[in-house]
Chains A and B, each alone.
Chain A
Amino acid sequence: MVRKNPHSDISPRLGWFTLAVIIVMIALGVVPQFELFGMRFERVDILSELRENENEVVEYEADIERLEQELAAMEILDTLPVVDSLSLLPPVRYEWIVEDETCHKRASLRSADIKAIAERCSVAIEDFDTLATSRFERFVDKLASGEGVRIAFMGDSFVEGDILTSDLREQLQRIFGGRGVGFVSCDIPFTTVRRSAKRASSGWSAYSVMKPKSAPQDVADKFFVSGYLAKGGVGAKTRLASTQAFEHLDSCTRARVLLYSRDTSSVEVAINDTVINEIEVAGYDRMREIYIEAAAIESLTVRVAKGDILCYGLSLEGGEGVTVDNFSVRSNNGHAIFGTGAMVNREIDELLGYDMVVLQYGLNIMQKGQRGYSGYRKQLCDMVAYAERCFPNAAILIMGVSDRWVEGSNGMYEPIGSVDALSAAQRAAADSTNVTFWNTAAAMATYGGMPEFVARGWAAKDYTHINFAGGKRIAELLTYAIVEPVYRRVERREVEMQREAEWQMLKEATINVRRELNMVRPSLDTLIMRGLK
């Protein structure tokens, strides 16, 4: 046997060794996930850093400081004195009143009208702001007193295609009034099916906040929480038409177009394809809104006639009641809000006036058996902080993650085991930021959870995504949860009014008795005097 010289140089082993390590590690990539002694081992992928991920999306980091700076800058801009040159600070809203549809304030609700709905509430909205002046209390007040409210429903693929939100909209409008589908993005970079609105877009370049690298620089910092932005030149066109898939979607009385025009441009707007108006938009670095009042709006068409614009979306609404905007962004865990422009959000909020912002996220970050979500909880707190600054008057509602089951090793579906942990983290985030929380999974449990949803055909066979039928159930449960505090408020008001009325009656009765007493007093006095004598 040849004895190896212990002092010889074996430097080349470096090359062979690293090559062998790489090859073996790549080969290990074919070993699937397995379990041993109760521990789960994942498939390893040493090439993951090199592989192009089809759905690669940017994970935004919270930058509250930048947001504060932007908002501070905006306030300075707002307080600048208006100089006489109109081209410098033109009005932000272009009004086009086709037919003056005065908006009547609805008559106040009666508790008897909504008692039955409120009593069905089994899982209530938890408000962690205990002050009577909390933004959720204000939201409830507005609903109770018949004022209009606008809800921004931000979510992931769970509510894509207006699942859940279309039913929520229908039910809230049935109770509190209101019409129309609300905000619909001008154009999005992929095709979706949406029953609650018909949109036909052409000529735009559409960008998503989840892939900001593919967007030009002047677009990338202009995203709204809707998540999509369309850039278009002359000829770019979108037609939004109402449907009758749900109640109250037709015969709208208000329409809006939200856009942004750096240089002067001209936009052609048509109502019901017949009434047409060309509006010149003065170029300036601020949000623009074309605001239309008319009777029975069934379609709204916008076409760029001159120049370039960034168009956010079109909106069909009623002049009163509830408006629900569906802002679903696929595979967004909520981080995408950090990629939206703070000033953009704030400006649109000033125009539309949101009263509630729903954050429905978390389905995509759940992993089987995961028990800790402290990292996500912190991110969620940042998201709430960001949303609060962008929408300063809105109540924030964190919607808990929905129930989800996954396929086990034996092919049977079993609970993913992390729903409670993630719900708890979401609830904790609501607690520490003093906002509201609604436990979706607990609400679904009143029907028996995800297996029952699948069994009744309310959810897809992946035991993850609900369909329209399932969305309808959850929307009902959420509606009950929203109506319940409104009912209590109305009932309290009625009790107070009744007390007030009784008090008034008592007061009047007392006065009457006194008056009658006074009338009989002289004769009484003479009687007494006589008796004394």
Chain B
Amino acid sequence: MAWEWIYNSVKALFDFGDEVLERLVGLLCYDPSSPLTLTSGLFLFAFFLFGLGYLAVRNRSYLRTLYVVIFSLYFYYKLSGVYTLLLLFVAVSDFLIGRGLYRRRERGLSGGLYVALSVVINVSILVYFKATDFFVGVVNGLYGSGTLDWESVVVPAGVSFFVFQSIAYVVDISRGEIKPLRHLSDYIFLLSFFPKMFLGPLVKAREFIPQIEAPKVVVTREDFGRAVSLIAGGLIKYAVISKSLGMLFVAPAFAGEMGDSGVVALLAIYGFTLQIYCDFSGYSDIAQGVALMLGFRLPDNFNAPYHSATITEFWRRWHISLSTWLKEYLYISLGGNRKGAFRTYLNLIITMFLGGLWHGVGVTFMAWGLLHGLALALHKVWLKVVPGAKALGADMKPMRRVLATLFTFHLVSFGWLLFTAKDMGVVADMLHNIAYNFSIEDIVPVVEKSVVAFVVMALGYLLHLMPRGVDEALRRGVTSVGFVGQLVIMVVAIWAVMQCNAMLAAEVGAAAGLPIYAAF
């Protein structure tokens, strides 16, 4: 009996049918409806097969680079299809520009034209993919629809990430901070390394190049434990907390399906605040963990951002690699703080405004950028004017710090409202409801309607409130439980994600989509 059961189970599991080959070919080709991400089921198998080859070549730096480049390009092809050619074009053009620029610098000549060329190429790619829709919309709105015949294009996945890194590389050479890479494959590696391909973090050439060129990779026990905890934790944050909160409560609330009380609006804002953090940081954690298993260290992209006591501190803890990029290549290029107080404030506002615009050309993103720019500038003024004002929460007295943290959290949350609302009408409606339609007893029916979402929300915020030490202790714990323990942790995380997906499919009737930041 038992044998029969096992036999039938195995048969059921591997019952592939006749068209297995055709199906496999279909799986290996680009399919816009199912892009390959780090959280696809298919990635687990792809990563295993990739890993076997990787282990064989890991200590020969040139072969290793070539192998990873080929897999990364394939990964990008599965993610974005024909745009792989665009990635290659950017890589080749900036690789050549970087070389030419370096040669001129060696001869003591100015490389301004080279930098300008690179910036023009990269920025036009960005503008083409991000802004054309908006301008066509404006023109058609002014002169009647159909004035400009334009079918909106699919934006290549992660285009801004590789474009930004490429600009940074050329600018760094012109500033004399790095030497150009010797091999084109190294440069493609820098741009396309698959764990960070989709959502970053952005890596700096000067920090990443030594890792590419290292003769051998070393993954210590601690590294591996950290990688497992990053991936498992990231999966829970990204695919369980963010997805269920977003699909069960935030999305319906923003669509007006939860009623129009002030309580719903406020909870939707708090919900999205947690959702976008878990979504983005969770995926970044997975990327970091996958890279670490291969022996590559990607920089931290988040550092408990809602612990920030000031808006300045927030931008040192949120999407760190992007805010660093904006600071180094936009703010400093604009003159930074070297041209007097007024220009400093203006530069801050311009930087954040453009940062907002980068997320999408539209009024809401402009408003979001302006809000953060103004807040940063005002905070600079505050630090100057108010005696005893501190830039960071760690320097504040406890009571003051709690109040400042609450204030900053709400500033950021209401900023997210601008960020996620589809137009200013939604923003106005929600603010109106919070101001004039708020009664606390409305909370009971709302919470009753989606209990799961609120349990998840409470849990998510509780986890976020944990001090840094708990996080570190957990990481060490994962290292110490050894192979079997780590296996159990990973399996439980993957299993939880699959159960969550099944639950969401049942509750909402839709499959979980891509990360929020995939749109940028």
Contact = CB atoms under 8 A, between A and B. Distances in A.
A365 B44 contact: no
Interface in B13-49: 13-20, 23-24, 27, 40-42, 44-45, 47-48
Nearest to A11: B219
Given A18-B47, A22-B48, A375 B502 contact: no
B442 interface: no
Interface stretch (A47-55, A220-228, A254-262, A383-391): A47-55
B444 interface: no
B382 interface: no
B55 A373 contact: no
Contact of A10 (B9, B47, B224): B224
Contacts of A50: 16, 23-24, 27, 42, 45
B176 interface: no
A26 interface: yes
Interface of B: 9, 13-20, 23-24, 27, 40-42, 44-45, 47-48, 51-52, 54-55, 58, 216-222, 224, 228, 248, 252, 255, 257, 293-295, 483, 486-487, 490-491, 494-495, 498-499, 502, 505-510
A17 B9 CA distance: 24
Given A11-B217, A17-B487, 12 more contacts: A9-B216, A12-B55, A15-B52, A17-B224, A19-B48, A25-B491, A29-B13, A30-B9, A46-B498, A373-B509, A374-B257, A375-B508
A88 interface: no
Contact of A44 (B17, B27, B499, B510): B499
Contact of B295 (A6, A11, A376): A11
Contacts of A370: 506-507, 509
Interface in A23-47: 24-26, 28-30, 41-42, 44, 46-47
A19 B19 CA distance: 25
B219 A15 contact: no
Contact of B499 (A11, A15, A42, A376): A42
Nearest to B509: A375
Interface in A362-383: 365, 367, 369-376
Contacts of A371: 507
Nearest to A65: B151
A4 interface: yes
Contacts of A49: 27, 40-42
A41 B52 CA distance: 33
Contacts of B41: 46, 48-49
24 contacts: A6-B220, A7-B220, A9-B216, A10-B224, A11-B55, A11-B58, A14-B55, A14-B219, A14-B293, A17-B228, A18-B47, A20-B483, A21-B491, A26-B13, A28-B491, A44-B499, A46-B494, A50-B16, A52-B16, A52-B23, A54-B17, A370-B509, A372-B248, A374-B509
Contacts, number: 129
Contacts of A13: 219, 224, 483
A29 B294 CA distance: 28
A260 to B, nearest CB: 28
A2 B41 CA distance: 38
A523 interface: no
Most buried by A among B24, B222, B509: B509
Contacts of A376: 509
B337 to A, nearest CB: 42
A21 B16 contact: no
A365 B505 CA distance: 10
Interface residues of A, number: 45
A474 to B, nearest CB: 25
A130 interface: no
Nearest to A42: B502
A271 to B, nearest CB: 44
A18 B13 contact: no
Contacts of B44: 18, 21-22, 25, 46
A518 to B, nearest CB: 69
A191 interface: no
A51 B42 CA distance: 12
Complex A-B, nearest 5 residue pairs according to Cβ-Cβ distance, in ascending order:
A375-B510, A52-B17, A375-B509, A42-B502, A18-B48
A54 B51 CA distance: 32
A24 B487 CA distance: 9
Nearest to A58: B33
A24 B51 contact: no
Most buried by B among A8, A9, A367: A9
A10 B220 contact: yes
Interface in A48-88: 48-52, 54
B463 to A, nearest CB: 20
Nearest to A61: B33
A4 B41 CA distance: 34
A47 B508 CA distance: 23
B17 A15 contact: no
Contacts of B54: 14
A24 B491 contact: yes
A371 B257 CA distance: 14
Contact of A30 (B13, B24, B222): B13
A48 B42 CA distance: 9
Contacts of B222: 6
